[in-house]
Structure 1
């Protein structure tokens, strides 16, 4: 297991003539990546034509099967080592712009993309088009693209790039005292202009910021019931029902408008590329025509997407910090977000209208709200304390069906948003978060005794939260059922 690692990003001061060099080197990196990916794909296609490959795939998992697959990979050169050997000649050819270690790193990135197809996590490889290769990195901070602490600058094969770091940036100065594993050049397009950054990959744990107020109690529990667009939080001190990535509705609407505009322009420029029913004519092999207005709209959409992504990440980090201020024993249900993202397989007809029901499920909501990203951020922050996010067994706990008073399971429709008790009605998501908080240490069953002890306090906090939501001057959260 590797040492703990974190990343810090700082902008670079780049002159116009230096930008030309950086663009040239990024394009060389793109060509090396595509060449390595194409070679790996070619070797893989040859390997799967061998009947022995399919015999080994059908074998039961075990040592014999792994040995046979490894022999085939060695025979056809479908290994990271083989791709590193393949890229050596290209590294020598472009040594004035791309170092040998950087070329090997590019080859390893191509092999990682190939592995996704080999192990069933992808259907095909995707080559990188012109202008879409945005990063290059080294393996160490000793050669090639490296940081010189005495002068606070990056040096890269004759190009000197000052790192823009403020004197009062206490966090950056403390972080750079840690060991630098390697550095990454990162290109971003911000407001139509190219900006360049250096990402320091540092060993250890990030310095604590002054405004961070994490809990010091590793036993203080927090239960999370996460949905496609909302999050229910229950702790000993707080009960909240929150909207994920709150405040992005306006930007998301602008993004959808630009997407529709882009589609109209694409169809107007290429009428022969579409069938009469509006679908793409795949038999037409003519080149797609892109007008100047189309390219302008595409740049606007890219800028809007960047803004939405940055705001979403910032909102998730703030929410993760707030959750960790409530406690460090964070528990959540295991969720198959990929399954929720996929379309429904079953074709159904509506009884009222007689029309086919749409197969779309939660793909758009998951893309906009990114609940999985929030859980990853929380888990990464917990790792700094030597802890991890505790994922309960959803199939065994069944938090959305369990009632701790009667200790019974009652299956409920998704449309039913409230649970009815003698003390009063309780919102379904908040009650699930309450039960998740009160799971046993085996994460497989509810601790009923603990739930009974904390119930009254939870119910009081729950009533306060419902009153808060009622007083909001905005559209109510759809899952609350009000």
Structure 2
């Protein structure tokens, strides 16, 4: 049975000659990954050419369908076990740099990529380019890349690297008292330089930090209505509507500037690679020219992207801690973010302008704000306390349409940002979060009696929040409707 696991990341003290060996082994791992990915993909495509396979796919879901599909996977070798057998020879060839268990782990990573396509979670697989393979891991802490707590260093086939563990890092010292399941080598490019880290997969739950102010009341409810770029939070003591991952706007603008500059340099260096209308000339098979200024801009963009990723994760962790300080009964709408990312399929013409409506949806906002990542972080923090994030049935509750006073559903356009009641106007996202907070235990309907009891408190806190937003000394959130 799988036990709970959490990760601790610490830097490694490496010398130049050790870094050269680490780069060599990462490149060997990349070659093994690409070889396994190509073999698994070849077997899968060969299996899909059989018409009987698609007949089995169309069979009604059940034991019979599973039996038929498993037979095909066994026949064509499209199984994790078969890829582990395939990688054995490569493991023997590179045994001085890559252990057998690590080679099997690489093969399983490659098979997982093919599995995503097999089960409809992707369209194709992508091979890893030179310099873009950033991690290697073992299956246990007994062989290969492993940690020795007494000496506080890791050993890996002739390499001994000290783990930089600060004496005053109380969290890390407590965490390393738990059993180390396995270790992972992680490479990061920080300010243009390669840095190497060890990630410990530790058994159990992460230790509690001293400055953590999470609530201890599992009965206190918190309702969350999360959008593509905003988040509305409602509890008995706090009502807030704010940007998700607040403070990334300047970095995102800088990233767009560098992306446009990179495109201009690419076009200037390769004029023959583009058609007259600006599209790529597919018939030109010459090598792409990359100038020194182009590579410099590329490095700047990579560094800025890294900072955005780290800042976004930090902001999500901070806001998740804020939410848990309000209560531990956290409820949220179950959203299909993949559907929101996809382009619209239907071609429509605007009645006002007569032009085609754009098919883009919320892909850029979701990539920048990462709401699904926030919910994952929040859920992990709750699981560490033995709880979980409660996801309501969106189709049954219909929080954006329901009005608890009349107990009716009123459809509203996306542009309608306010609900009008006798007591006053209520912002739509905040009202949805209020209804989510007041759902019943089955998470399929709103508890109207509880909503009526908590209405006056919510209304007062709502008015305070709207006044706070009005007095902000910055551009108003576009989705609020002020």
TM interval, shorter chain, is over 0.9
- Cα RMSD (Å) of the superposition? 1.0
Offset of residue 354 of structure 1: 2.3
Distance (Å, rounded) in 2 between the aligned partners of 1:310 and 1:144: 30
Which residue number corresponds to residue 340 of structure 1? Answer: 340
Offset of residue 475 of structure 1: 0.7
Which residue number corresponds to residue 187 of structure 1? Answer: 187
Which residue number corresponds to residue 434 of structure 2? Answer: 434
Which residue number corresponds to residue 280 of structure 1? Answer: 280
Matched residue of 1:480: which SS?
Answer: coil
Matched residue of 2:128: which SS?
Answer: coil
Q: State the Cα deviation string for residues 276-313 of structure 1 (Å, max 9, x = none).
A: 22222223322222222111111110000000010000
Which residue number corresponds to residue 323 of structure 1? Answer: 323
Which residue number corresponds to residue 48 of structure 2? Answer: 48
Q: State the Cα deviation string for residues 206-260 of structure 1 (Å, max 9, x = none).
A: 0000111111111110000000100000001110001111111111000000000
- What is the TM-score of this pair, normalised by structure 2? 0.99
Which residue number corresponds to residue 128 of structure 2? Answer: 128
Is residue 150 from structure 1 mapped to residue 145 from structure 2 by the alignment? no
Matched residue of 2:13: which SS?
Answer: coil
Offset of residue 350 of structure 1: 2.4
Which residue number corresponds to residue 89 of structure 2? Answer: 89
Matched residue of 2:338: which SS?
Answer: helix
Which residue number corresponds to residue 222 of structure 1? Answer: 222
Q: Gapped runs of 5+ residues in structure 2?
A: none
Which residue number corresponds to residue 165 of structure 2? Answer: 165
1:12-161 residue pairs with structure 2 within 5 A?
12-161=12-161
Offset of residue 70 of structure 1: 1.1
Which residue number corresponds to residue 241 of structure 2? Answer: 241
Offset of residue 275 of structure 1: 2.0
1:200-215 residue pairs with structure 2 within 5 A?
200-215=200-215
Which residue number corresponds to residue 462 of structure 2? Answer: 462
1:241-390 residue pairs with structure 2 within 5 A?
241-390=241-390
Offset of residue 58 of structure 1: 1.6
Offset of residue 160 of structure 1: 0.6
Offset of residue 267 of structure 1: 1.4
Matched residue of 1:415: which SS?
Answer: coil
Offset of residue 138 of structure 1: 0.2
Distance (Å, rounded) in 1 between the aligned partners of 2:249 and 2:55: 52
Distance (Å, rounded) in 1 between the aligned partners of 2:303 and 2:171: 28
Distance (Å, rounded) in 1 between the aligned partners of 2:407 and 2:99: 64
**Which one is further off, 45-54 or 153-162?**
45-54
**Which one is further off, 174-183 or 385-394?**
385-394
Offset of residue 351 of structure 1: 2.7
Q: Gapped runs of 5+ residues in structure 1?
A: none
Distance (Å, rounded) in 1 between the aligned partners of 2:375 and 2:294: 37
Distance (Å, rounded) in 2 between the aligned partners of 1:446 and 1:476: 31
- What is the TM-score of this pair, normalised by structure 1? 0.99
Distance (Å, rounded) in 2 between the aligned partners of 1:264 and 1:349: 32
Distance (Å, rounded) in 1 between the aligned partners of 2:406 and 2:49: 60
Which residue number corresponds to residue 473 of structure 1? Answer: 473
Distance (Å, rounded) in 2 between the aligned partners of 1:93 and 1:296: 37
Distance (Å, rounded) in 1 between the aligned partners of 2:226 and 2:48: 41
Which residue number corresponds to residue 395 of structure 1? Answer: 395
Distance (Å, rounded) in 2 between the aligned partners of 1:50 and 1:325: 56
Offset of residue 105 of structure 1: 0.3
Which residue number corresponds to residue 423 of structure 2? Answer: 423
Distance (Å, rounded) in 2 between the aligned partners of 1:364 and 1:61: 36
Q: State the Cα deviation string for residues 285-342 of structure 1 (Å, max 9, x = none).
A: 2222222211111111000000001000000000001101111111111111111111
Offset of residue 188 of structure 1: 0.2
Offset of residue 419 of structure 1: 1.0
Distance (Å, rounded) in 2 between the aligned partners of 1:263 and 1:92: 44
Q: State the Cα deviation string for residues 75-130 of structure 1 (Å, max 9, x = none).
A: 11111001001111111111111001000000000000010111111111110000
Distance (Å, rounded) in 2 between the aligned partners of 1:42 and 1:133: 22
Distance (Å, rounded) in 2 between the aligned partners of 1:425 and 1:42: 60
Deviating above 6 A after TM superposition, structure 1's stretches of 4 or more consecutive aligned residues are none
Distance (Å, rounded) in 1 between the aligned partners of 2:96 and 2:140: 18
Matched residue of 1:52: which SS?
Answer: helix
Q: State the Cα deviation string for residues 23-68 of structure 1 (Å, max 9, x = none).
A: 0000000000001011111111221122221221121112122112
Distance (Å, rounded) in 2 between the aligned partners of 1:350 and 1:454: 43
Distance (Å, rounded) in 1 between the aligned partners of 2:71 and 2:418: 58
Distance (Å, rounded) in 1 between the aligned partners of 2:277 and 2:349: 22
